[in-house]
Amino acid sequence: MKLDPRIKLLLIAMLTSLAVFAKDIVYLGAVALTALLLDIMLRANILDALKRIRHFLSLIVFIAVVQSLTVKSGKSIVSIGNFTFISSAGLLNGAEFALRMGIIILASIIATTEKGRGMTDALIKLKLPYEIAFMVSVTIRFIPMFREEFASRLTALKLRGINIKKLNICKKVKVYTYLLSPTVAGSIIKSRELANAMEARAFRAYPQRTMLRDLRLKFIDYAVIISVIAYVALFAAVSIKIGGII
Amino acid sequence: MHKNDYAYGDKRMIIQIVDLCFSYNKSKKILENVTYIFESGKAYILSGANGSGKTTLTRLIMGLLKPNMGSVSIDNEPLINPSKLRLADKIGYLFQNTDMQLFANTVYEELAFPYQITGAYNNDIENKIDITLKEFGLDGLYDRFPLLLSGGEKQRLALATIFIRDVQFLILDEPSSSIDQEGKIFLAELINRFVEQGGGVIVISHDEELKDMINNPVHISLNEGRL
């Protein structure tokens, strides 16, 4: 399914909003399933995207487990004497957090299906100033580059005989701080070079920009807009009728 | 710049690659049944067109990539799941983009950091760092931020981080890409001296001038994935 980038932004906005507002685990599950189906329909490379953020995923799991262990209300599931280790409310809290984050991740994967200037064009069409839209797209483009740079420096560190796994936590933090500082400094240097290159190519020399590819909504885009409205309306209706969902 | 003041240890080493095959994706093979033996005491100049697999070959030797087929062995010991740490003691690798190799806040720390973090920093190391920085013409730049050095200075610093570890073999990926004439002479002298002392060097380069400055090099060329 090929959609206009503006519709993809709409889908991302809808899914992330519902992830924040939905209060019930069943409905969070439904939203997560919707996000997953949309990723599949838009032919997003979900596994590749998840692989890239695997460290972040383990952090989410860790926070979810901590939440499960710290919330003690509800029915006791695992306990020793009077002390409750895991309660029903704790488990529910952890699962809800994991689902919420999952929805946000699956929604953001939709953005990866748009190549080139698609997102910039979409933001311009949504009346965002060109300079801001361009900055947003440059930021997105720089993220994989920073990740690659960080990985390269990590390799360089290993090639100098430092075994990070064997270091204690304080030294590990120090090493990662060391690796972050050149990446941040490098990004400042790169942004300065990019600014010079843009100036050299007469960026903003003409106030009125023309577009090589003008975005136009097609039938499928309108169909998705109607579906989004219906989906959100259904959520709102169920919430009003049953209560406590949104 | 100064001449090397300290002698290197025993550098005898053989890198053997047998039937090495590699591809980043199924559609294009980068290396196809590459077999070769790199011996210490020699300088190898690896050339080939852009995208011919030169950097890939060296990254396979360093264990930074895993071959689809074939093997790499060092001193007849096959590198199965090669440990980067073990290789780091033996082989020094200069990245094509030296920026990726520098991560400390000052030039001095760039050399001292691995020793400080592993608790091996002492007076001997301090002296060794001073000697190395002088040797590579970096004295006076101790407190400078490495990423803000000139291209040539960055490259000399990256080389210094390798030479301070007394490695037996060097792999230099496009080492003359950002250096001037004086830098090239320094680099060629460094390579020649390293080989004279028994070390082995693989230089990936398109720079004819640098190639001419290296003594008795062995020329090898990669063409469509084959040596």
Q: Tell me which chain A residues have a C-beta less than 8 angstroms from the C-beta of B58.
A: none
Give the dihedral of Cα atoms A121, A123, A124, A129; nearest 10 deg. -140
Number of separate domains in chain B: 1
- pLDDT interval class at B81 (50, 70, 90): low
A59 and A169 belong to one structural domain:
no
pLDDT of residue B82: 57
Mean pLDDT of B84-102: 81
- Inspect the interface and report whether the beta carbons of B118 and A161 lie closer than 8 Å: yes
Residues A153, B89: C-beta atoms closer than 8 Å: no
First to last CA, chain B: 36
Residue A110 in any domain: the answer is yes
Q: What letter does residue B98 receive in the DSSP assignment? A: G
For residues A74 and A70, what is the distance between their CA atoms, to the nearest angstrom? Answer: 12
Do A180 and A198 have their domain in common?
Answer: yes
Q: Are residues A104 and A21 in the same domain?
A: yes
Number of structural domains (chain A) is 2
Is position A124 within any domain? Answer: no
My answer on whether A105 and A219 are in the same domain is yes
A113 and A227 fall within a common domain:
yes
Residue written as token pair 């020329």? B219
Closest chain A residue to B165 measured between Cα atoms?
A160
- Domain presence at residue B2: no
Q: Is residue A136 part of a domain?
A: no
Contact between chains at A153 and B103 (C-beta distance less than 8 A): yes
pLDDT band at B1 (very low <50, low <70, confident <90, very high): very low
Does one domain contain both A190 and A237?
Answer: no
Give A-chain residues touching B95 at CB under 8 angstroms. 152, 156
Q: CA-to-CA distance for B64 and B59, rounded, in angstroms?
A: 5
pLDDT along chain A (246 residues), means of 10: 90 93 88 94 91 85 87 80 81 91 94 82 84 79 79 84 81 82 81 81 73 85 94 86 62
In this structure, are residues B85 and A161 in contact, taking their beta carbons and an 8 Å threshold?
yes
Smallest Cβ–Cβ distance between B93 and the set A159, A171, A175 belongs to: A159
**Cα A104 from Cα A11, distance rounded (Å):** 11
Same-domain status, A203 and A96: no
- A202 and A227 co-located in one domain: no
Most confident of B7-16, B39-48, B143-152: B39-48
* pLDDT at B184 > cutoff 80: yes
Q: Which residues contact A52 (CB under 8 A, 6 or more apart)?
A: A147
Write down the mean pLDDT value for chain B.
85
Q: Scanning every residue of chain B, which has its alpha carbon at the shortest distance from the alpha carbon of A183?
A: B103
Based on the fold, state whether residues A100 and A207 are members of the same structural domain: no
Q: Same structural domain for residues A180 and A101?
A: no
For residue A204, the tally of other CB atoms under 10 A from its CB is 11
| Residue A187 to chain B, least CA–CA distance (Å) | 11
Write down the pLDDT at residue A89: 86
Instruction: Note whether residue A133 is domain-resident.
Output: no
**Closest-CA residue of chain A to B115:** A162
Chain B residues whose beta carbon lies within 8 Å of the beta carbon of residue A178: 103-105, 113
pLDDT confidence of residue B192: 94
- Whether A100 and A40 map to the same domain: the answer is yes
The ipTM (two decimal places) reads 0.73
Check B84 against A155: CB less than 8 A apart.
Answer: yes
pLDDT given for residue B216 in this prediction: 92
**A156, A160, A178: residue with CB nearest B100:** A156
A57 shares its domain with A101: yes
Instruction: Please write the tens of the pLDDT for every residue from B3-41.
Output: 444 344 556 788 999 998 998 877 788 898 899 999 999
HSE-up of residue A38 (Cα within 13 Å, Cβ side): 29
Q: Which residue of A has its CA nearest to B86?
A: A161
Is residue B188 a part of any domain in this protein? yes
Please give the order of strands across the beta sheet that includes B77-78. Answer: B31-39, B14-22, B69-74, B77-78
Contact B117 A152 (CB under 8 A): no
The whole domain housing A36 covers: 1-117+215-246
Residue type at position B71: S
Find the distance separating the first CA and the last CA of chain A, reported in whole Å: 30
CATH classification at residue B42 = 3.40.50.300
Is the pLDDT reported for residue B85 higher than 70? no
Tell me which residue has tokens 């590749």.
Answer: A48
Can you give the residue range of the structural domain that contains B35?
A: 14-222
* Residue that wins the pLDDT comparison between B58 and A177: B58
Number of residues written out for chain B: 227
